[in-house]
Amino acid sequence: MGEENNYQNILQDIVKTKMPFGKYKDWLICDLPENYIVWFKQKGFPKGKLGMMLETMYEIKLNGLEYLLKPLKNSMNKKY
């Protein structure tokens, strides 16, 4: 169960965390264009939590799983 909570926390962070730098600064990680995330995949993801979120978003987009983020994004919008 602990591992499942970690995955849920990562997904929640993806829908509420903004990109801290670059061309898409202040965009939510979940809203970043696919080509930007693919560029990071090719160049190397940043270290730490940001890199983990970007890599997770890459896998979500690669596998067509963006729909999984919609309920989280909607619930986060209601909180803020």
Q: Total domain count for the chain?
A: 1
Q: What pLDDT score was predicted for residue 79?
A: 61
User: What is the C-alpha to C-alpha distance for residues 1 and 31, in angstroms, rounded to an integer?
Assistant: 28
37 close to 19: Cβ distance less than 8 angstroms: no
Q: Which residues contact 45 (CB under 8 A, 6 or more apart)?
A: 51, 52, 54, 55, 58
DSSP tally for the chain: helices H, then strands E: 4, 0
| pLDDT tens-digit readout, 41-77 | 999 999 999 999 999 999 999 999 999 999 988 887 7
Q: What pLDDT score was predicted for residue 5?
A: 63
pTM: 0.86
Q: What pLDDT score was predicted for residue 63?
A: 96
| pLDDT tens-digit readout, 2-17 | 566 666 789 999 999 9
Q: Is 28 helix (H, G, I), strand (E, B) or coil?
A: strand
Q: Is 2 helix (H, G, I), strand (E, B) or coil?
A: helix
Task: Provide the residue range defining the domain that includes 40.
Answer: 2-79
